[in-house]
Structures are given as C-alpha cells and as structure tokens.
C-alpha cells in the first residue's frame, strides 16, 4: 500500500487527469448551481450575443446561453459515455470471460463474432447501428456500446486465458468450487485491473464518439444540449458567432484529455512494470 501511495505522488497523468475529470463531472452535476439560466430557453431578442457579463460565453442563434448549454451538455456526454461503457464492458467482459475460461469451440465461435465487429472502422459501426435504430441519444448509447464490446472481450479473454492455468484456479477447483464461482470470485478480481484502465480509456472514446454522432445529427437531438450538436449549430453561423464554435470543442477536448490521462495514470499505478519515465 505504501508503495502505491509513493507511486501516486509522482504520477502526473493521474493528478492532471483526475483533476480534469473531477472538474467536468462536478460542473455537469452542479450545473443548476453554476448558472441560473435554462439551457433550452429561447430568447429571440438576445440572438448571437458576444460573450459579455450577462452571457459569459455568449448566446447561440436562438438566444440560448452557451455556457449553460455546455454545462448541461456535460451531463449528456457523461451519461452517454457511462452507459455505453457499461454496455461495452458488461457484454464484452462476459463474452471474454466465457470465451477464455471455456476455450474450445465456443471460444472460436465467439471470437469470430468479435472479429466481425472489428472488421469495421469504429465510427462506421456506430453509424451503421444508428442508421438501423434511428437517431437519438439512447440509440447512440447502444451504438457506442456495441463498438466498445470487442476491446473488452479481447482483453478479458486474454487475461482469463493467462489466469486459468494458474495455481489459485487449480486450488479453487480442487476445493470444489463451481465454474461460476471460479470465474466470478477468483478470475474476475484478478483480471480487473487492466479492465478498469480499459474502461477509463473507453470512456474518453465514448465521449468523442457521442460528440461525433451528435455533430452528424445522429446522436443527441435538439433541443437537448450536447457538445457535438452545439458544434454542428455553430458550423452554420461560423463567421457571425465564432464563440459558438470554440467553447464546446474545448469542453470535448478537456473531457477526452482528462479521461485519457486518468487511464494512463491508473495504468501506471496498477501496473508498475509498464511505468514509463526516467529512472
């Protein structure tokens, strides 16, 4: 434990990433306390106002406050990201555990399905699923979740394959543990570290994917504020209201950077063998 604490002291990615994630998550959670303005209330008289004391980041072409929309948009980003990662990790880890533990024909079959999903560029697969389900943030969650399944399945399978031959598994089996107990109580906790790191990195991918889908008009639908959707709206009035095109992008980049750094930091923390840096 002391070693972990010591490592954390020099773990800059973990600190910066953690701070960014905390900042974004808390400003989304406490959005109503940070701004009294409603992100969806339209004010035709106050259209396209430059950033000023009344609207710190200006207003959009319907007179809505850009700051309020960014704060509330953070909620959409985090919820879509969390649900998508939950779907991807839930399905992917289950498949991976089953595939790695059972091996044999079931493994071969499951891995072919996973290969099939990996044969598509990620964004294309998400777009295909949304094309089938229709646009919307619920559909986007499902689509991004599907895209995330293969990475979790592969990682969980590889980890399980490595763990199943080890002594603690043999010991558990000798003690009479059932397969379910062995997988859930013995293997899963042992392979959880890399999966947690993967989930953190996958979260940043999910935020980016949600923004991309919403930018294309396939994700979160207006009037619900989303960062990608705000950039799409900004594209039409780029030279009249450039502030609309700046801040939602900053929010996306900060969120993705935050979760990426947090993932890097966690990796260093959980697996010192992979630690990079001068000795």
Partner 1 sequence: MPFVLRRLLTVAPTVLVVATVTFVTLQVIPGDIAEIMLGTEARPEDVARLRQEFGLDRPLVVRYVEWLGHLVRGDLGTSISYREPVVRLIRQRLPVTLSVAAAAMFVAVVLAIPLGVLAARRAWSPLDLGVLAGSQVGLAIPTFWMGILLLLWLAAATPIFPLQGYAAFSANPLDWLRHLALPAVALGTERAAALVRLVRASVLDELNRDYVRTAHSKGLAGSLIMRKHVLRNSLIPVMTVAGLQLGYLMGGTIVIEQVFGLPGLGRLLLQGIYARDLVIVQGAVLTIALMFALLNLAVDLLYAVVDPRISYA
Which of the 8 DSSP states describes residue 59?
Answer: B
Distance CA 222, CA 136 (A): 9
- Nearest CB to partner 1, comparing residues 119 and 174: 119
Among 242, 272, 274, 275, binds partner 1 (CB under 8 A): 242
> Which of 100-108, 131-139, 155-163, 167-175 is the region at the interface with partner 1 (rule: CB under 8 A)?
131-139
- Nearest CB to partner 1, comparing residues 98 and 126: 126
Copy the structure tokens of residue 147.
């895209």
Which of the 8 DSSP states describes residue 120?
Answer: S
Among 121, 189, 223, 272, binds partner 1 (CB under 8 A): 121
- Nearest CB to partner 1, comparing residues 68 and 146: 146
Whether residue 157 contacts residue 164, with contact meaning beta carbons closer than 8 Å, is answered with: no
Whether residue 8 contacts residue 269, with contact meaning beta carbons closer than 8 Å, is answered with: yes
- Nearest CB to partner 1, comparing residues 44 and 277: 277
> Which of 29-37, 79-87, 93-101, 130-138 is the region at the interface with partner 1 (rule: CB under 8 A)?
130-138
Binding flag, residue 257, partner 1 (CB under 8 A): yes
Among 252, 262, 263, 266, binds partner 1 (CB under 8 A): 252
State in angstroms the smallest separation of the CB of 154 from partner 1.
15
| C-alpha separations of 187 from 125, 162, 183, 223, 272 in Å | 31, 10, 5, 45, 21
Among 109, 131, 171, 240, binds partner 1 (CB under 8 A): 131
Among 149, 191, 261, 262, binds partner 1 (CB under 8 A): 261
Binding flag, residue 35, partner 1 (CB under 8 A): no
Binding flag, residue 120, partner 1 (CB under 8 A): yes
Copy the structure tokens of residue 1.
């434990």
Which of the 8 DSSP states describes residue 46?
Answer: G
Binding flag, residue 217, partner 1 (CB under 8 A): yes
Binding flag, residue 201, partner 1 (CB under 8 A): no
Phi-psi region of 51 (alpha: psi -120 to 50; beta: other; left: phi over 0): beta
Distance CA 13, CA 217 (A): 33
Binding flag, residue 204, partner 1 (CB under 8 A): yes
Q: Which of residues 159-198 bind partner 1 (CB under 8 A)?
A: none
Binding flag, residue 71, partner 1 (CB under 8 A): no
Going by C-alpha positions, the residue among 86, 7, 2, 6 that lies closest to residue 271 is: 7
- Per CB under 8 A, residues contacting partner 1 are 112, 115-117, 119-124, 127-133, 204, 208, 211-212, 215-218, 228, 231, 234-235, 238-239, 242, 245-246, 248-249, 252-254, 256-257, 260-261, 277-278
């Amino acid at each position: 434990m002391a070693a972990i604490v010591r490592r954390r002291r020099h773990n800059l990615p973990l600190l910066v990433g953690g701070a960014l994630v905390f900042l974004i998550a808390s400003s989304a959670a406490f959005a109503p306390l940070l701004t009294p303005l409603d992100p969806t209330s339209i004010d035709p008289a106050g259209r396209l106002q430059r950033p000023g004391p009344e609207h710190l980041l200006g207003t959009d072409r319907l007179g809505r406050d850009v700051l309020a929309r960014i704060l509330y948009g953070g909620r959409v980003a985090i919820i879509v990201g969390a649900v998508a990662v939950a779907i991807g990790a839930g399905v992917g880890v289950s498949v991976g555990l089953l595939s790695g533990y059972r091996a044999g024909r079931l493994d071969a079959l499951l891995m072919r399905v996973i290969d099939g999903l990996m044969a598509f560029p990620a964004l294309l697969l998400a777009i295909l699923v949304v094309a089938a389900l229709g646009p919307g943030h619920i559909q986007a969650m499902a689509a991004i979740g599907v895209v995330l399944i293969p990475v979790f399945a592969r990682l969980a399978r590889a980890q399980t394959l490595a763990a199943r031959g080890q002594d603690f598994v043999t010991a558990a089996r000798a003690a009479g543990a059932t397969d379910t107990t062995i997988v859930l109580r013995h293997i899963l906790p042992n392979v959880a570290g890399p999966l947690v790191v993967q989930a953190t990195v996958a979260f940043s991918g999910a935020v980016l994917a949600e923004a991309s889908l919403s930018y294309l008009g396939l994700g979160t639908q207006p009037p619900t504020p989303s960062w990608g959707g705000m950039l799409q709206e900004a594209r039409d009035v780029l030279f009249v209201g450039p502030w609309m095109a700046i801040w939602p992008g900053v929010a996306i980049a900060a969120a993705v950077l935050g979760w990426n750094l947090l993932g890097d930091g966690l990796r260093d923390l959980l697996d010192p063998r992979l630690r990079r840096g001068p000795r």
